[in-house]
């Protein structure tokens, strides 16, 4: 039997050249074992063995770089992390069990009791819970602002802050935050800027290049892309990841399963193909239904009618996979539309190969008061459509027929 004691191998770019993103997503971080497998191996192991007691001692004293325990690091998870790091252009990265575990860990690594966070109001529900309910129990206060309004950011940051958090485009309102402008304000206030880049994906928007310090992902969405596994990731500077984040992750344990990491790793290989299709179809759907008599409005970052279209074109390469409709007849109209869809599934997830539709006011954002919903642009007629990989003509036909039933 072959003893796998030879060091991991993998080809790298020729001297003086760097691989383009699509190549990185197929080959980045490859670390083959002594069996010379073509596809990345799945290391379903919690522990690792040592040839002798002195090697174990050296590993725990950090004198020997190697795998110790899968809660700290695992070869399959490390392969996923490295590939994501290369595509994001970050110094360092850590994967987590879910997107929320990534958000929570990034925040916990930035703050302590007595600190202040400034965040945009239009946040994914669980992020709102962490900032609005959980952290205050541990002495951390959050000031919420309307993400589009730079004056509100300026006022809220004037007294200083430990951390700034926002998502752009927002879920589900597709409102944008000017990443560069808010980063400038935040840095002047001494804050670490954490951006939730889930809606844009690593291919359409580069928050780190726009000045952000930390980027978080729900890998559950476009990175898996086929609705199979939960996962998350945090990317930032080496010092943030190694000194602040890693101790929290290592000891509080929101570790990504190597099985999920393997699925997500293979998901990255097709990410550019899928995002191209998502974007082309979403844009087509948005343009096709803009002005439809049953719709009060269609929202999509790259429609000229989007109030922040200029900003979208400045900081995003494309508008993403999500389109929102304001159905004219409110909740009744929205429900009739959802119930009449023959192909598109009613499901609150997004970023899937399958097209999915959600009515945020009665599901994901049900916990909010009607006033808070209105402030985030979530009216009773709002419908969120995650445009999938089906043939776009089939999607358009299904949506058209369902709108006719409204």
Chain positions 93 to 132 lying near ligand PLP, rule: CB under 6 A, are 98-100, 103, 124
Length of the chain: 406
- State yes or no: residue 335 binds other proteins (CB under 8 A): yes
> Which of ligand PLP, other proteins, none does residue 196 bind to, with CB < 5 to 8 Å depending on kind?
ligand PLP
Q: How far is residue 38's CA from residue 399's CA, in Å, rounded to a whole number?
A: 42
Q: Which of 31, 64, 68, 296 binds other proteins (CB under 8 A)?
A: 68
**Residue 272 Cβ, how far from ligand PLP at the closest point, in Å?**
21
**Residue 115 Cβ, how far from ligand PLP at the closest point, in Å?**
22
Residue 170 DSSP label: P
- State yes or no: residue 293 binds other proteins (CB under 8 A): no
Contacts of 357 (CB under 8 A, 6+ apart): 338, 341, 344, 345, 346, 347, 383, 384, 385, 386
Chain positions 252 to 311 lying near ligand PLP, rule: CB under 6 A, are 253
Structure tokens at 98: 């879910």
> Which of other proteins, ligand PLP, none does residue 364 bind to, with CB < 5 to 8 Å depending on kind?
other proteins
> Which of other proteins, ligand PLP, none does residue 39 bind to, with CB < 5 to 8 Å depending on kind?
none
Nearer to ligand PLP, 189 or 208 (CB): 208
**Residue 96 Cβ, how far from ligand PLP at the closest point, in Å?**
9
- State yes or no: residue 139 binds other proteins (CB under 8 A): yes
- State yes or no: residue 376 binds ligand PLP (CB under 6 A): no
**Residue 348 Cβ, how far from ligand PLP at the closest point, in Å?**
8
Chain positions 157 to 196 lying near other proteins, rule: CB under 8 A, are none
Nearer to ligand PLP, 215 or 297 (CB): 215
User: What angle, rounded to 10 degrees, do the helices at 179-188 and 150-157 form?
Assistant: 20
296 and 342 in contact (C-beta within 8 Å)? Answer: no
Contacts of 198 (CB under 8 A, 6+ apart): 99, 124, 167, 171, 216, 217, 218, 221, 222, 351
Chain positions 105 to 124 lying near other proteins, rule: CB under 8 A, are 108, 112-113
Q: How far is residue 259's CA from residue 75's CA, in Å, rounded to a whole number?
A: 11
Q: Which stretch binds ligand PLP (CB under 6 A): 33-41, 140-148, 193-201, 339-347?
A: 193-201
Chain positions 129 to 168 lying near ligand PLP, rule: CB under 6 A, are 167
Nearer to ligand PLP, 24 or 170 (CB): 170
3-state SS class at 224: coil
Q: Which of 86, 97, 145, 198 binds other proteins (CB under 8 A)?
A: 97
Q: Which of 4, 20, 34, 54 binds other proteins (CB under 8 A)?
A: 54
- State yes or no: residue 197 binds ligand PLP (CB under 6 A): no
Using alpha carbons, select from 305, 109, 112, 300 the residue that is nearest to residue 216. Answer: 109
Q: How far is residue 254's CA from residue 388's CA, in Å, rounded to a whole number?
A: 29
Q: How far is residue 219's CA from residue 315's CA, in Å, rounded to a whole number?
A: 21
- State yes or no: residue 24 binds other proteins (CB under 8 A): no
Q: Which of 81, 115, 196, 213 binds ligand PLP (CB under 6 A)?
A: 196
**Residue 357 Cβ, how far from other proteins at the closest point, in Å?**
9
Q: Which of 9, 12, 18, 252 binds other proteins (CB under 8 A)?
A: 252
Bridging pattern class, strands 295-299 and 322-327: antiparallel
Bridging pattern class, strands 232-236 and 295-299: unpaired
Q: How far is residue 224's CA from residue 273's CA, in Å, rounded to a whole number?
A: 13
- State yes or no: residue 71 binds ligand PLP (CB under 6 A): yes
Q: How far is residue 336's CA from residue 329's CA, in Å, rounded to a whole number?
A: 10
Q: 168 in the Ramachandran plot: left (φ > 0), alpha (ψ -120 to 50) or beta?
A: beta
Residues that bind ligand PLP (CB under 6 A): 71, 98-100, 103, 124, 167, 171, 196, 198-199, 218, 220, 230, 232, 253
């Amino acid at each position: 039997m072959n003893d796998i004691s030879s060091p991991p191998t993998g080809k790298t770019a020729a001297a003086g050249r760097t691989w383009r993103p699509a190549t990185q997503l197929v080959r980045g971080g490859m670390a083959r074992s002594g069996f010379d497998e073509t596809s990345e191996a799945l290391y379903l192991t919690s522990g690792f063995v040592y040839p002798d007691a002195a090697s174990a001692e050296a590993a725990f004293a950090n004198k020997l770089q190697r795998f110790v325990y899968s809660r700290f690091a695992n070869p399959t998870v490390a392969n996923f992390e490295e590939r994501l790091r290369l595509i994001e252009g970050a110094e360092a990265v850590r994967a987590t069990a879910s997107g929320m575990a990534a958000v929570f860990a990034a925040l916990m690594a930035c703050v302590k009791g007595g600190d202040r966070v400034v965040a945009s109001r239009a946040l994914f529900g669980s992020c709102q819970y962490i900032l609005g309910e959980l952290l205050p129990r541990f002495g951390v206060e959050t000031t919420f602002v309307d993400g589009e309004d730079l004056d509100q950011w300026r006022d809220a940051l004037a007294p200083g802050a430990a951390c700034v958090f926002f998502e752009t485009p927002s879920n589900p309102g597709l409102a944008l935050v000017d990443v560069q402008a808010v980063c400038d304000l935040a840095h002047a206030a001494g804050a670490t800027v954490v951006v939730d880049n889930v809606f844009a994906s690593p291919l359409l928007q580069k928050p780190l290049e726009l000045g952000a310090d930390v980027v978080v992902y729900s890998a559950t969405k476009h990175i898996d892309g086929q609705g199979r596994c939960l996962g998350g990731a945090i990317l930032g500077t080496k010092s943030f990841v190694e000194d602040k984040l890693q101790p929290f992750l290592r000891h509080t344990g929101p570790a990504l399963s190597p099985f999920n990491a393997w699925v997500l790793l293979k998901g990255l290989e097709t990410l550019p193909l899928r995002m191209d299709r998502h974007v082309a179809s979403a844009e087509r759907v948005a343009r096709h239904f803009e002005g439809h008599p049953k719709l009060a409005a269609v929202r999509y970052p790259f429609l000229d009618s989007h109030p922040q279209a200029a900003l979208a074109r400045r900081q995003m390469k494309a508008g993403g996979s999500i389109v929102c409709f304001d159905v004219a007849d409110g909740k009744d109209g929205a429900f009739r539309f959802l119930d009449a869809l023959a192909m598109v599934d009613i499901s609150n997830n997004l970023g899937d190969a399958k097209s999915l539709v959600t009515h945020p006011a009665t599901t994901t954002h049900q916990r909010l008061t009607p006033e808070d919903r209105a402030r985030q642009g979530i009216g009773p007629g709002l419908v969120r459509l995650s445009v999938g990989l089906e043939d776009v003509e089939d999607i358009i036909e299904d949506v058209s027929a369902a709108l006719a039933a409204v």
